[in-house]
Structure 1
Amino acid sequence: MTVQYQFPDNFWWGSATSATQIEGAAFEEGKGMNIWDYWYETEPDRFFDGIGPETTSDFYRQYKEDIQRMKDIGHNSFRFSISWSRLIPGGRGEVNAQAVDFYNRVINELLKHDIEPFVNLYHFDMPKELQDIGGFENRQVVLWYEAYASVCFELFGDRVKKWFTFNEPIVPVEGGYLYDFHYPNIVDAKKAFQVAYHTMLASALAIRAYRRLDGQDGQIGIILNLTPSYPRSQHPADVKAAHTADLFFNRSFLDPAVLGEFPQDLVEILREHDHLPVVEQEDLTVIKENTVDLLGVNYYQPRRVKAKEHTPNPDSPFMPEWFFDPYEMPGRKMNPYRGWEIYEKGIYDIMINLRDNYGNIDSFISENGMGVQDEERFLKDGRIEDDYRIDFIKGHLTWLHRAIEEGCHAKGYHLWTFMDNWSWMNAYKNRYGFYSVNLHTKERTPKKSAYWMKEVAKHNGF
């Protein structure tokens, strides 16, 4: 391979996934029920092809072979999550010894293969019993999350040196409390903003707990899906619309995580519409004093917006879209399977923003990927020829490389995902992995992109 784009030494090459999406064994070895187990049990028709999280990709049984496969394609790092409901069934109280044993084995197996474990504490999977009392609407759940995080640090922190408090914390807010694509399927912006606020408080409390423990010499951060907001034009009304979208969907979490405070413009909007969350004064000090060491950036698509064309219905539920309309730019490049625009330069724009406005915090691409439906169409001689995925990764890495050349502290690139996994309501509709998974046999087969990534990791560039 001729290397045109050389990445810095010790760059993190790997992939990311989450417990509910790959583990399976949803009701085995003492695991409690989470909201996905429950929602699938009650409304299976809302999941693509009626497939739920019970078995998913069976990482729980095949983790050793899977970690060997990661090594085979050049991974030096891998992000996964711990299932709160597996480790502490019900979300509080006694720790499940079988879960401790499982996560210890996974961590030790990764280290044996020189793959650094990046461990995320929460990936959309609230224990059912805690959601029954409001989930993150309830301040008490914030404290139980802090206790759960502390247990994880004490059990695994001697070997895990990269911790993340939350993955995409805005998604349970959007899905569960605004747009009806996550349980508990509530449409109530006031509750949504309370959940968002409590999530950031929980993150800060976990960071504080980590730093107070003896012997914890790693980094702790958060993973945010940053979706740049681009205005249709430079007309002041369009620019304002993009600024407001950015406040709601990016800065609502990015500012408190990295800068330790919420954007004043957003606070004013929520105050004006009587949607401010309930805040206790000492919370803001906790958030201010416990910012992240490291930022994971998930990037899939841009957000393009324009000024509102019509006044919102005053009787409709309060929504961020009261302040902007989506805009479909003519000629945009699309992933037709997912309905998402492909805009590689977005990754560069995010990094430059972090460099210029967020202290050039250490960051990495913690997710980027291309979901494609019916990938068997591209099967040739027993292998999926996913050149479209290779092109997608190349395009994004090219812009990431440019950002690094211009001084951005980007430390790595993780694809979503290592092998095809269960994607919430979409189940296995869109495939994202380096390895395909046969849903009936659970057999894994490397795609063309797996071989390509092996060369990239080997040469630390392409």
Structure 2
Amino acid sequence: MEKKIVFPEDFWWGSAWSAEQSEGTGDTGKAETIWKRWFSEEPNRFYDRIGPDVTTDHFNRYKDDIRLMKETGHNSFRLSLSWARLFPDGGRGEINRKAVDFYRDLMSEMIKNDIKPFINLYHFDMPMKLQELGGWASRETVEAYVNYAVSCFKEFGDLGYHWFTSNEPLGPILGTYLEDFHYPNFIDFKEGAQAAFYTILAHAKAIKEFKKLNLKSKIGVILNLSPTYPRSSNKWDTEAAETADAFYTRSFLDPMVKGTFNKKLVSILKEYDQMPDYTEEDLKIISENTAQILGLNYYEPRRVKARLTAVNKNSPFLPEWFFELHNMPGKRMNIYRGWEIYEKGIYDLCMDIKENYGNIESFISENGMGVADEERFLGENGQIIDEYRINYIKDHLAYLYKAVNEGCNIKGYHLWTFIDCWSWINAYKNRYGLVSLDLATQKRTIKKSGEFFKKMTEENGFLYDTDKLV
């Protein structure tokens, strides 16, 4: 039966993107990032050979873009700051005043339009000067990051509504050290474990410094989390799922929110000689400085089964030594991304946070649908008629509403993304935005989903057939 779903008052409605994917280079003296370097070395690995120089040109168009945020119903927006723009030397020298002015102007414009700035400090865009020192696998990067973070707290503390130490810290570890989709593309689990540990340590050290400043805002982290489902109730399948969950979910969630490390994961890493280096002081800092707020990025579930074949011990150590992915028959797919669409996963994720992580204040910090060749859905007035995105949003929000009604401390929903943005090696292959982008002219046009989003946020909800919920 169709009924009106209404979210709590002051619910955060908005979207998110990153500096590297939206700003373009600009004219503030931004230094080289790992993406700029990789594109210069291997442009063939980027879809249509489109690199990060221009992207959505937000640097030059932010005032018009903020107007579009308002027109699509935003009351909040998660941006990221460019480390390489603010500290062209990597974070060990003086801050770039031109970059400070740019970000202050941008966030002030957001606030003038009643849009809360959610500030994320790191979103995959390692300054190349720090990558040359080892990137996240180096303690020098940790100290440079803390200096960068403290400088940002002081420069923008009066403007930020909430702060986040990083977005999807698992992503660079998988991409750089396990799966070959982040520069410089090592395949080395142990070095990846070191980089992961130092990322967690940097998060804790930044929070420690943040607390000294007594700002009105909170600080946390944005994690990409997929509920892990075993193929069956067979004990070998459930054990495989628990192991996969330890690697991909608890690896960052436990230390960043609880201040402790997952025992199952630590046991495996010790057994296979994959433990990172650390000190007791490091562990103390991590235990005492945990997230005050948590962003949940949800796109798809993870389905796992017991391995059916033996592991080649002469191959690099990888999590897949302990499980295989399960291709569940009958699953519904977003064929453009190769991702399963499973709305109930957002509910299961929120319930996990409620039951196992103290019901920490949280919000959906990313959720969305990338679709290729959206020009197929162009209406007569030049608007993309993306009913599929509207249905995707409604179906996920219906399960989020169920979670909120059952006591989950969820305060908002941010879509990925606002305007079609550059998507790493996929560039503009898939489009995610509420607003379409013409690459040739940079013209922005609000999609049908953008109109829906505006109406939904004005009413704080929408009509929905709740009989579809299970």
Letter in 1 for 2:391: D
**Structure 2 counterpart SS, 1:4:** strand
CA distance in 1, matches of 2:311, 2:119: 42
Does 1:159 pair with 2:148?
no
Letter in 1 for 2:273: D
Residue in 2 aligned with 1:47? 46
Residue in 2 aligned with 1:296? 295
CA distance in 2, matches of 1:321, 1:399: 30
Shift of 1:257: 1.0
Residue in 1 aligned with 2:137? 137
Shift of 1:3: 6.2
Misfit runs of 4+, over 4 Å:
none
So what's the TM-score if we normalise by structure 2? 0.97
Letter in 1 for 2:289: N
So what's the TM-score if we normalise by structure 1? 0.98
Residue in 2 aligned with 1:321? 320
Residue in 1 aligned with 2:72? 73
Does 1:178 pair with 2:175?
no
The answer to whether the 8 A contact 1:369-1:393 is kept is: yes
Residue in 2 aligned with 1:376? 375
* Percent identity of equivalent pairs: 56
CA distance in 2, matches of 1:84, 1:324: 37
Residue in 2 aligned with 1:122? 122
Shift of 1:204: 0.3
Residue in 2 aligned with 1:451? 451
CA distance in 2, matches of 1:35, 1:172: 11
CA distance in 2, matches of 1:121, 1:254: 18
The answer to whether the 8 A contact 1:22-1:421 is kept is: yes
Superposed CA RMSD in Å reads: 0.8
CA distance in 1, matches of 2:122, 2:28: 20
**Structure 1 counterpart SS, 2:8:** coil
Does 1:35 pair with 2:34?
yes
Shift of 1:311: 1.4
Letter in 2 for 1:413: Y
CA distance in 1, matches of 2:72, 2:376: 24
List aligned pairs for 1:43-122, cutoff 5 A.
43-92=42-91, 93-122=93-122
Does 1:196 pair with 2:196?
yes
List aligned pairs for 1:238-317, cutoff 5 A.
238-317=237-316
The answer to whether the 8 A contact 1:417-1:434 is kept is: yes
Give deviations 1:158-200, integer Å, cap 9, x for gaps: 1213000010000000001111100010000000100011000
Shift of 1:73: 1.5
CA distance in 1, matches of 2:377, 2:241: 38
CA distance in 1, matches of 2:203, 2:13: 26
**Structure 1 counterpart SS, 2:165:** strand
**Structure 1 counterpart SS, 2:304:** strand
**Structure 1 counterpart SS, 2:90:** coil
The answer to whether the 8 A contact 2:133-2:140 is kept is: no
**Structure 1 counterpart SS, 2:359:** coil
Unaligned runs of 5+ in 2: 463-470
Shift of 1:349: 0.2
**Structure 1 counterpart SS, 2:400:** helix
The answer to whether the 8 A contact 1:3-1:461 is kept is: no
Residue in 1 aligned with 2:467? none
CA distance in 2, matches of 1:302, 1:338: 14
Q: What number of residue pairs does the alignment pair up?
A: 459
**Structure 2 counterpart SS, 1:311:** coil
Residue in 1 aligned with 2:12? 12
CA distance in 1, matches of 2:393, 2:89: 39
CA distance in 2, matches of 1:25, 1:199: 26
CA distance in 2, matches of 1:159, 1:79: 13
